[in-house]
Chain A
């Protein structure tokens, strides 16, 4: 980070005296506001220590300051460097002196370069802090040079000298010594206690059994089911959907007994490490792997050329020339983003693989890097020669009568440019896979991909296999947020590495740095030439704009994002006339992947900015502006044919205002403003559209064979009558084991702990379809509808068996729990048959059973297909998604006037996801999505330089949100049941990116009076500092109002 400052000030002494002070560190250093000590190294070099305090961060900065140039009495230049709190800095300061009256005019310039942790610790608020410090230095210099001050200072110094030698200071010194002496024994005592505790052993319950000394007597079954039975018992009652029960899966996850990819080990397993391109764009001239291969323990290496010889490029979704993009698992002729894999090294263990990767020599020829949409569109450097341009997709979404709406408008608001920044969700578990090339010629994956049904359709053709030869299995997944949909190139690479290693399993686990570079970024978007038509009451009647998406180096899941945003085309607002000219470009940045709120949050942020900017410009309160524009009738068909199933946005607003104490904060805001503080209150209304209609893919490419959606669940009565459910989803924290058990329990009249839900995805379960996976906020609808449907079929079969066994009519039977467990009984009698008995009739006690039940299997596979139609590709019209959960957030944000650090003072979120299956899980999802959104809004950004270097490639620079930055969240909910799902539920996992709009709106409210228009979704202290300094409201936004 670089900061530049300059300015001038006056002091009363003449230039010679001023120069004398300013060119002598011994004289001026003690004037620094937080001066601590000074040590002269030589005549021109001093080491100055000052105390530093920014927010909660305190420390000492030590600067070696050298007087580099000295031209008495007019000029001096100091250069300095030093360290502070995990960071380092260099600085250059110079000044020129001119006589002014009897005094001196000091003209000064300063440059500071900062690096390291200090940037993240200070939340980036360095610029404001530095400016404040400079002002303090100037004031103190001016004071020090005034004759009155010098006299006072001399008197003060004499008084202090006297005091220090007095009895009081002697006593203080003595007490301090005693404190120091007594501190050591106390520490020693604490150590002794710790040692005692350790020697005596852990007094609490053992977290894991001591496997070294386990005997049959001490072996216990996993506490997993017992725990859940306890939870269910505590909850009580006989209806389980909507019960706030704790999650079944948590027991094993919090005990460290989950099975993540890195926990998975196979005999003879090898490890893969990747050599990645340091260049954003470079031709690969030469690769020498000989030194790496010579390292003992290395099994083989793989290069792009080798892979290209045996592998077909991955399928492309884009139309026309986009089909010519050659996307291999590794760079073949050139690398087109920093971090693109260039060579794979396979070794006996991960350390050897990492060491060997460093021995690979790659010679590159640097090519010009395309680092933003503007240079991408110039096509001077083209990333994909087959496509011939960097312009990947273009389409116009136009609905209604724009010309008429603008002609009739009372106000037209024009916004020049707005930008949505690049960030991601950085899941705790990075991308990982274990791949085994099996003797049969296929490949087994144990992976953490979150959309395995689609990626096996990508991988099989790339490897020349049939789908059946590709087995994909997932177990526990440590967060995905859509990012993990994009890890299939690594899966393919590991498969090829296994193949070259003679079929030995190959594990690859991405490092955090690799993930930041190449694990999948959310796309950034630019909005140009936006025009908004409004009527006299501030109701928006039309919007037109040009949008450009930057999807990074390889499109992969794109251009689906070029249509998915249109699921929320008008956001929560009733305008009917919209024209968006949508474009997508490729650039030399990490490939994008779906990211929580994928493509919709960009559109929702855009629409919320419009609402807010128009409200401020037209002087309409932000809550009233929204009430004037909200959609109120449901189901509501949007101008592009999407159907908003249900909702009540005014009620969300009312509830959120009550939660946060809106009126109270308005009062406090007015008081704070009177004190000159920058406090803003912002509203963000958002939609979380769930359950994709894959027919929308045809809007980006009419030749794609996808449409609709499907999800599968299988359910069976096992040999002992246990109810076993298998899903097609890949849960990564959404609690599918629990909600599935809740639904099945209600359907069968049993308890959730009596339902066995097999976790993870496995193609061998045969519990998946072509759309299976966890993405697009859909499990509550697709997954649970599949489970529900499977239950209905199972119940039908069970009734047929029970009717025969109990000699009763099917209509007289009821499900419930009897003395021998789950059973079917004849209503009003004690005649019953339990599940074991029913299973036995089909599985183990089959002799003599009648032909009438010969078709009963008690092993059901149900496919749920939402009621979708294929959209009209020409008109870009149709229902693109099934349900629309909504959220309304309100934030109170104060921007610190000294540091520009935005601080959330209060935050409320109200959620509406229709009928809630498990309130605890919903609250957890809202908290998680809010944390992600706040992080994205204020701290997290992938920033590149013009050479293609990712400048925020580690958590030190990217600063993901932590508990330290997360405000207390006031949470509420309303329920407007969806008419389109069997259970009235709506998918809600993504949160719609609400904090991005909300924080932008609050900061806008805080800074509008400073002539600031918030046009960037990233509200870091530095962007806010720039925005306040620019104060360019007048040029950024134009308002044309017509009187009629």
Chain B
């Protein structure tokens, strides 16, 4: 399964590079990502839950950077297994950054994903569309978060929601629906 996306984030090239190198920030934007743990330079683990129609799975994923040319290119591999070890996922991903102007950076992201095991039988069909959807949500969330960090108007809206006390911050943690993210 191959995925390719190009999108623009608010922020200058070095700023966006720095943002994308913060695993916790990126993890927060990834739909279904529960935890992110930094193991070392360029090495992270994360726990991701997905649900596609009747299919539910939780993956523990390990990400390792295999090549890095700051601030414009990174390649990394992702390997994971679901909780009972019956399915394995692996992906080779690349990120290429290009300055559009001083305030915007274009990102091209590619990913070749392999799924084997119990969930593998869905890989060719449902998963491709599902992965496309996840990517859309991920990019929307990244865009929003980058805008927040960059101090654009979207931040105030987000801050306003965050300001609703403990419950509000819990909500903002869990609510990562695409419709909201797009708003």
Give Cα distance in the complex from A257 to B6, angstroms. 66
Query: Given A115-B54, A115-B122, 4 other A-B contacts at CB below 8 A?
Result: A42-B179, A45-B179, A79-B133, A358-B84
Q: Are B126 and A949 in contact (CB under 8 A)?
A: no
Give Cα distance in the complex from A947 to B133, angstroms. 23
Q: Are A116 and B53 in contact (CB under 8 A)?
A: yes
Q: Are A278 and B87 in contact (CB under 8 A)?
A: yes
CB closest residue in chain A, given B130: A90
Q: Are B126 and A88 in contact (CB under 8 A)?
A: yes
Contact with A along B69-103 (1 / 0, CB 8 A): 00000000000000111111010000000000000
Most central of B124, B125, B128 by chain A CB within 10 Å: B125
Q: A361 is contacted by which of B53, B85, B124, B130 (Cβ under 8 Å)?
A: B85
Q: A115-B53, A116-B53 are in contact. Are A275 and B126 (CB under 8 A)?
A: no
Most central of A88, A116, A949, A950 by chain B CB within 10 Å: A949
Q: Are B116 and A280 in contact (CB under 8 A)?
A: yes
Q: A88-B52, A360-B85 are in contact. Are A113 and B116 (CB under 8 A)?
A: no
Contact with B along A353-393 (1 / 0, CB 8 A): 00001101110101000000000000000000000000000
B155 beta carbon closer than 8 Å to chain A: no
B118 contact set on A, CB distance < 8 A: 278, 953
Q: Are B85 and A949 in contact (CB under 8 A)?
A: no
B129 beta carbon closer than 8 Å to chain A: yes
Give Cα distance in the complex from A79 to B133, angstroms. 10
The 3 closest A-B pairs by CB, nearest first: A88-B53, A278-B117, A949-B120
Q: Which residues does B use to contact A, with CB under 8 Å? A: 52-55, 83-88, 90, 114-118, 120-126, 128-130, 133, 179
A87 beta carbon closer than 8 Å to chain B: yes
Q: A279-B116, A361-B85 are in contact. Are A953 and B121 (CB under 8 A)?
A: yes
A1 beta carbon closer than 8 Å to chain B: yes
A851 beta carbon closer than 8 Å to chain B: no
Give Cα distance in the complex from A89 to B129, angstroms. 10
Give Cα distance in the complex from A951 to B87, angstroms. 13
Q: Are B117 and A88 in contact (CB under 8 A)?
A: no
B128 contact set on A, CB distance < 8 A: 113
Q: A83 is contacted by which of B53, B114, B116, B130 (Cβ under 8 Å)?
A: B53
Q: List 18 A–B pairs whose Cβ atoms lie within 8 Å, in order of A's numbering.
A: A2-B124, A83-B53, A83-B54, A90-B129, A92-B129, A113-B126, A115-B52, A115-B54, A115-B126, A278-B87, A278-B118, A278-B120, A358-B86, A366-B114, A366-B116, A947-B120, A948-B116, A949-B117
Q: B54 is contacted by which of A88, A275, A279, A952 (Cβ under 8 Å)?
A: A88
Q: Are A90 and B123 in contact (CB under 8 A)?
A: no
Q: A279 is contacted by which of B52, B55, B88, B121 (Cβ under 8 Å)?
A: B88
B179 contact set on A, CB distance < 8 A: 42, 45
B133 contact set on A, CB distance < 8 A: 79, 90
Give the Cβ gap from B16 to chain A, nearest Cβ, in Å: 25
A interface residue count range (under 10 / 10 to 19 / 20 to 34 / 35 or more): 35 or more
Give Cα distance in the complex from A949 to B116, angstroms. 6
Residues of A280-303 at the interface with B, using a CB-CB cut-off of 8 Å, are: 280
A114 beta carbon closer than 8 Å to chain B: yes
Give Cα distance in the complex from A33 to B54, angstroms. 27
B55 contact set on A, CB distance < 8 A: 88, 115
Q: Are A278 and B116 in contact (CB under 8 A)?
A: yes
Q: A90-B129, A360-B85 are in contact. Are A338 and B53 (CB under 8 A)?
A: no
A945 beta carbon closer than 8 Å to chain B: yes
Q: Are A278 and B86 in contact (CB under 8 A)?
A: yes
A364 contact set on B, CB distance < 8 A: 88
A957 beta carbon closer than 8 Å to chain B: yes
B129 contact set on A, CB distance < 8 A: 90, 92, 111, 113
Contact with B along A709-732 (1 / 0, CB 8 A): 000000000000000000000000
Q: Are A947 and B114 in contact (CB under 8 A)?
A: yes
Contact with B along A539-553 (1 / 0, CB 8 A): 000000000000000
Q: Are A957 and B53 in contact (CB under 8 A)?
A: no
Q: A92-B129, A113-B128, A280-B116 are in contact. Are A949 and B121 (CB under 8 A)?
A: yes
Q: Which residues does A use to contact B, with CB under 8 Å? A: 1-2, 42, 45, 79, 81, 83, 86-90, 92, 111, 113-116, 275, 278-280, 338, 357-358, 360-362, 364, 366, 945, 947-953, 957
Give the Cβ gap from B84 to chain A, nearest Cβ, in Å: 4
Give Cα distance in the complex from A945 to B126, angstroms. 14
Q: A42-B179, A116-B53, A945-B120 are in contact. Are A90 and B85 (CB under 8 A)?
A: no
CB closest residue in chain A, given B118: A278
CB closest residue in chain A, given B84: A358
Give the Cβ gap from B183 to chain A, nearest Cβ, in Å: 10
Give Cα distance in the complex from A87 to B53, angstroms. 8
B52 contact set on A, CB distance < 8 A: 88, 115
A113 contact set on B, CB distance < 8 A: 125-126, 128-129
Q: Are B117 and A951 in contact (CB under 8 A)?
A: no
Q: Are B124 and A366 in contact (CB under 8 A)?
A: no
CB closest residue in chain B, given A115: B126
Give Cα distance in the complex from A364 to B89, angstroms. 11
Give Cα distance in the complex from A81 to B54, angstroms. 12
Q: Are B85 and A116 in contact (CB under 8 A)?
A: no
B53 contact set on A, CB distance < 8 A: 81, 83, 87-89, 115-116
CB closest residue in chain B, given A42: B179
Q: Are A358 and B126 in contact (CB under 8 A)?
A: no
Give Cα distance in the complex from A113 to B124, angstroms. 9
Q: A88-B54, A90-B126 are in contact. Are A950 and B121 (CB under 8 A)?
A: yes
A957 contact set on B, CB distance < 8 A: 121
Most central of A45, A280, A947, A953 by chain B CB within 10 Å: A947
Most central of A42, A79, A111, A115 by chain B CB within 10 Å: A115
A2 contact set on B, CB distance < 8 A: 124-125
Give Cα distance in the complex from A280 to B133, angstroms. 28
Give Cα distance in the complex from A535 to B124, angstroms. 48
Give the Cβ gap from A610 to chain B, nearest Cβ, in Å: 34
B123 contact set on A, CB distance < 8 A: 945, 947, 949
Give the Cβ gap from B118 to chain A, nearest Cβ, in Å: 7
Give Cα distance in the complex from A579 to B25, angstroms. 68
A88 contact set on B, CB distance < 8 A: 52-55, 126
A357 contact set on B, CB distance < 8 A: 85
B87 contact set on A, CB distance < 8 A: 278
Most central of B52, B88, B116, B126 by chain A CB within 10 Å: B116
Give Cα distance in the complex from A364 to B133, angstroms. 29
Q: Are A362 and B85 in contact (CB under 8 A)?
A: yes
A90 contact set on B, CB distance < 8 A: 126, 129-130, 133
CB closest residue in chain A, given B87: A278
B84 contact set on A, CB distance < 8 A: 358
Most central of B87, B90, B120 by chain A CB within 10 Å: B120
Q: Are B116 and A338 in contact (CB under 8 A)?
A: yes
A952 contact set on B, CB distance < 8 A: 121
Q: B124 is contacted by which of A87, A945, A950 (Cβ under 8 Å)?
A: A945
Give Cα distance in the complex from A285 to B38, angstroms. 24
Give Cα distance in the complex from A86 to B153, angstroms. 44
Give Cα distance in the complex from A103 to B87, angstroms. 52
Give the Cβ gap from B82 to chain A, nearest Cβ, in Å: 9
CB closest residue in chain A, given B53: A88
Give Cα distance in the complex from A357 to B86, angstroms. 10
Give Cα distance in the complex from A615 to B123, angstroms. 42
Give Cα distance in the complex from A617 to B86, angstroms. 50
B130 contact set on A, CB distance < 8 A: 90
Give Cα distance in the complex from A220 to B134, angstroms. 66
Give the Cβ gap from A761 to chain B, nearest Cβ, in Å: 35
B88 contact set on A, CB distance < 8 A: 278-279, 364
Q: A275-B85, A279-B88 are in contact. Are A114 and B125 (CB under 8 A)?
A: yes
Give Cα distance in the complex from A90 to B130, angstroms. 8
Most central of B85, B86, B114, B122 by chain A CB within 10 Å: B85
CB closest residue in chain A, given B122: A115
CB closest residue in chain A, given B117: A278
Give the Cβ gap from B88 to chain A, nearest Cβ, in Å: 5
Give the Cβ gap from A276 to chain B, nearest Cβ, in Å: 8
Give the Cβ gap from A438 to chain B, nearest Cβ, in Å: 34
Give Cα distance in the complex from A361 to B87, angstroms. 12
